[in-house]
Amino acid sequence: MAQMGEKLLSGLCEMVSYAGGARSSYILAVQAAKECNEEECVRRYMEGDELLQKAHDIHYEILSMESAQLEKTFEISIFLVHVEDQFMAAESFRIMAAEFIDLYKLVKR
């Protein structure tokens, strides 16, 4: 990671923070749905979407930086792999949260 650019490293740190926050917000949305707190559920889900969008924006920037350096070697680090994993986990949690929220709505009727 010594050769990893400051801009890339900064972007990865922000991305993992936003993705982790989004995942947490989706979990809280499901918990609110379980407690029949629709207002909190919607608020947390939307909060997760906002954070995930920020992670998406940074992800796009990182991919753009990589494609601009196609002739050069793009360094892959454990941190980069971790960030990608957290990003994909947040996206998966978003999908699962939506499904659980819908399920709780059906069960609680």
**In order of start, what are the domains of the chain with their CATH numbers?**
7-59+75-107 (1.20.58.80)
Task: Determine the Cα–Cα distance for residues 28 and 46; give it in Å rounded to an integer.
Answer: 11
pTM: 0.84
Task: Determine the Cα–Cα distance for residues 29 and 24; give it in Å rounded to an integer.
Answer: 9
Choice between 69 and 33, residue whose per-residue pLDDT is larger: 33
pLDDT digit string, tens, across residues 36-47: 999 999 999 999
Which range is least confidently modeled, 20-24, 74-78, 79-83?
74-78
User: 93 CB contacts (<8 Å, ≥6 apart)?
Assistant: 22, 23, 26, 27, 48
Instruction: Give me the phi and psi of 90, to 5 degrees please.
Output: -65, -40
* Residue 97 vs residues 62, 68, 94: alpha-carbon distances, Å: 27, 36, 5
Residue 37: what pLDDT? 95
